[in-house]
């Protein structure tokens, strides 16, 4: 009965429009009261959820991403991508995908990717004769690269939700190959659609232009090298690398590019503070919620349920992916990472899946939810920028969904994609 109350209260609060973080906390406290447990325990669980040192890296990563978003790095990456792949048929679609791969590795945020690159590329693509739905489709789906390609604050949330026993440096490096494979699949889909619609290609600008674009983009790209390289080499902790990333981003955008105005800086600070507050409240409330899920033995019940469906690991993993995809369509990504990890991770590990690999599968599934109605944040942002109706985009986005699903299946059933690079750290 307690579990039904917990889940029922949470569902009710979400349906009536209560923010997810507060819905989690209120449902947890109501269940504590029903069970006759002191509410102080629930409050302590909320406080202990955010009293984790590694979480200090999250505000640094978010702030660094905001500085780079407003500091002109995105436009330089677009010029580099255009010089590299713009001459392919439907070249601006390829530019969009490649830019997302580069910018995602710097901002670590799919929504920031959609906002920054969408504002730059979608109007240009429409001016060049590309349909608005195609421009939005490519922008929105390729933005998921920011969830996988390091540094990603979502990986930090996963590490915390998993109990802190997973190396963040391994998660960072594990996301590179799945992210690149997904972008390659999306580039193929973008090319096929471009050929079918007879979109133009851009002339190759020459190696001199390519070299100049690479030089201009290099300082911005080096931000990710500093953050990820510092963590992998052991020179910095994750939190220290985030702080150094903020300092470096500030120096590059103000002294090198000189494109970050004072008003843009204040906007970046405001957005970073707001996002950090949302994430921290969410982490604390989700910790209390997850504590009750553990008391009610939800992971064990789910494992029993799934193994009752089939004893074939392939079937169970497919069902697991389907459940995560459906959940990603109806809830916020950060909340789902915190809720689903303690529930689904034991199921995955019971099938022999490495926790690092499961993290990549989880993030790719939930990333797809960012592009899917009814709660697709990236989809809404992309449609708003492109001035295209969501219904029109959803009707033609299927080739790109299929491309992501191909990458998802490869990541799910070929462990080497996620685990080869992390294995080098142990070597």
Q: Higher pLDDT residue, 359 or 143? A: 359
What is residue 254's predicted lDDT score, i.e. its pLDDT? 87
Residue 427 pLDDT more than 70?
Answer: no
Percent of the chain at pLDDT above 90? 12
Tokens (6 digits) for 189 = 């889909």
The domain segmentation of the chain, as residue ranges, is 52-426
Q: What is the pLDDT of residues 59-104, one digit of tens each?
A: 887 888 778 777 777 778 778 877 877 777 778 788 888 888 877 6
* C-alpha distances in Å from residue 190, one per residue of 93, 118, 141, 185, 411: 6, 16, 11, 9, 21
Mean pLDDT of 192-205: 83
Residue 417 predicted with pLDDT over 80: yes
Question: How many CA atoms are closer than 13 Å to the CA of 224, on its beta-carbon side?
Answer: 23
Tokens of 306: 């799934």
pLDDT the model gives residue 364: 92
Q: Would the pLDDT of 369 be above 70? A: yes
CB atoms within 10 A of CB 204: 15
| Average pLDDT over every residue of 176-183 | 91
CA neighbor of 183 nearest in space, from 144, 150, 209: 144
């Amino acid at each position: 009965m307690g579990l039904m109350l917990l889940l029922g209260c949470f569902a009710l609060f979400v349906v009536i429009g209560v923010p997810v973080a507060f819905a989690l906390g209120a449902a947890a406290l109501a269940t504590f009261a029903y069970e006759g447990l002191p509410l102080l325990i629930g409050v302590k669980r909320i406080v202990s959820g955010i009293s984790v040192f590694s979480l200090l890296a999250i505000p640094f990563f978010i702030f660094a991403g905001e500085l780079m978003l407003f500091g002109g790095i995105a436009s330089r990456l677009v010029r580099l991508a255009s010089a590299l792949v713009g001459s392919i048929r439907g070249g601006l679609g390829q530019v969009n995908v490649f830019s997302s791969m580069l910018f995602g590795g710097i901002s670590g945020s799919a929504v920031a990717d959609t906002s920054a690159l969408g504002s730059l590329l979608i109007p240009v693509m429409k001016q060049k004769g590309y349909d608005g739905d195609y421009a939005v489709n490519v922008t929105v789906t390729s933005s998921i690269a920011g969830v996988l390609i390091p540094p990603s604050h979502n990986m930090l949330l996963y590490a915390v939700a998993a109990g802190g026993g997973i190396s963040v440096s391994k998660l960072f490096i594990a996301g590179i190959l799945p992210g690149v494979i997904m972008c390659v699949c999306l580039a193929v889909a973008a090319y096929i659609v471009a050929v079918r619609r007879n979109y133009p290609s851009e002339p190759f600008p020459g190696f001199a232009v390519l070299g100049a674009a690479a030089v201009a983009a290099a300082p911005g790209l080096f931000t990710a090298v500093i953050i990820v390289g510092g963590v992998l080499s052991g020179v910095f902790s994750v939190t220290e690398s985030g702080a150094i990333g903020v300092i470096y981003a500030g120096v590059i955008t103000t002294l090198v590019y000189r494109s970050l105005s004072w008003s843009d800086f204040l906007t970046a600070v405001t957005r970073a503070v707001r996002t950090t507050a949302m994430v921290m409240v969410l982490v604390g409330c989700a910790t209390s919620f997850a504590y009750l899920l553990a008391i009610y033995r939800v992971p064990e019940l789910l494992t029993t349920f799934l193994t009752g469906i089939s004893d074939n690991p392939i079937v169970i993993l497919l069902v697991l992916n389907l459940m995560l995809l459906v959940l990603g369509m109806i809830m916020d990504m950060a909340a789902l990472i915190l809720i689903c990890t303690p529930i689904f991770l034991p199921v995955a590990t019971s099938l022999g899946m490495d926790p690092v690999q499961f993290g990549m599968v989880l993030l790719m599934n939930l990333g797809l939810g960012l592009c899917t109605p009814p709660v697709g944040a990236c989809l809404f942002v992309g449609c708003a920028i492109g001035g295209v109706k969501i219904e029109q985009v959803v009707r033609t986005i299927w080739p790109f969904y299929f491309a992501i699903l191909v990458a998802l299946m490869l990541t799910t059933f070929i462990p080497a994609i996620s685990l080869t690079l992390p294995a080098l750290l142990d070597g």
